[in-house]
Chain A
Amino acid sequence: MLRNMNQLNDLHFDVLKEIGNIGVGNAAGALATMLSSQVKMTVPEVKLVKFSEAGAIMGGEEVVVFGILVNISGDINGMMMFLLAPESARVLVNGLVGGDSEEIEEFSEIELSALEEIGNILCSSYLGSVASFINKSVTPTPPMLTRDMAAAILSVPAIEFSKMSEGVLLIDTLFETQEKNATGFFLLVPDFDSFGVILSSLGVG
């Protein structure tokens, strides 16, 4: 029985990677539909990042990024976050609303709503596919969007992880749309009991 995340072994990481693959594959499909464009994705990288390094995963602690958060409840409780740089946010928003703006400092209310919705669809499709894969029920809350320093946004999932580990479990994926690249990071943050539910439902408890 796993007592904390520092005990994760290669098998656990493989299982989490597969979950990431399923989730991200589905999210990429949803994104392709939304953008009417092909979306490629890289195989997710799953790693436990130390807190001291977690704030810098987006390229620096003070780099300004967007974070979209949904809380999840049901058989699995916790949160899910999608993080992306303003440049990537611009690519996705332009793709959705058909714009050609290059502005990355200012987003209009409508563009922010569009971004929130993109995050919502990505997180929901990710969660939905993971839930059906492990045959559990998961309900996400409406998305919440914020723009701030990367480390400040990452403190939210990091604090959840801090209750059970000395690092943040990160599933890192690159999206590529046809014209321009958009990079996004997914963080699935089950609470500790739910983490056990996921692993044991796949026979690696």
Chain B
Amino acid sequence: MDTMRIETTLRHRDEVPVLDVVGEIDIYTTPQFKEAVSAAINENKPAIIINMTQVTYMDSSGFGTLLSATKRLRPLEGALYLSGCNEAIQRMLQITRLNTIFGVYETEDEALTAAHSEMSAAPAAAV
């Protein structure tokens, strides 16, 4: 039986939560991915970076999780920032036009810069 799962690690850069994800995000691993994203959101920060560099596959169930997360961040004037998506994932984001919803960046540094820029422009989030 295929037992491949994903691994997730939450860390911080300049007070911005960064979720490192390794593996495949699909119908099987989405519950685990969802839990990890939810933990990041619970830190009550307006920006979350998801480091996708080591994600080899993501299907529409993963997009559903990202959309739910974005919906939860909206009251904080917050957003998700994806970094290092491979070409296949970028293609899917374009087909579904979700690249207009999430910030999609080549590198984590670029995502961090964009997150800081948005955070400085947005009103302070209520804690």
Q: Tell whether A and B belong to one assembly.
A: no
Residues of A whose CB lies within 8 Å of any CB of B are: none
Residues of B whose CB lies within 8 Å of any CB of A are: none
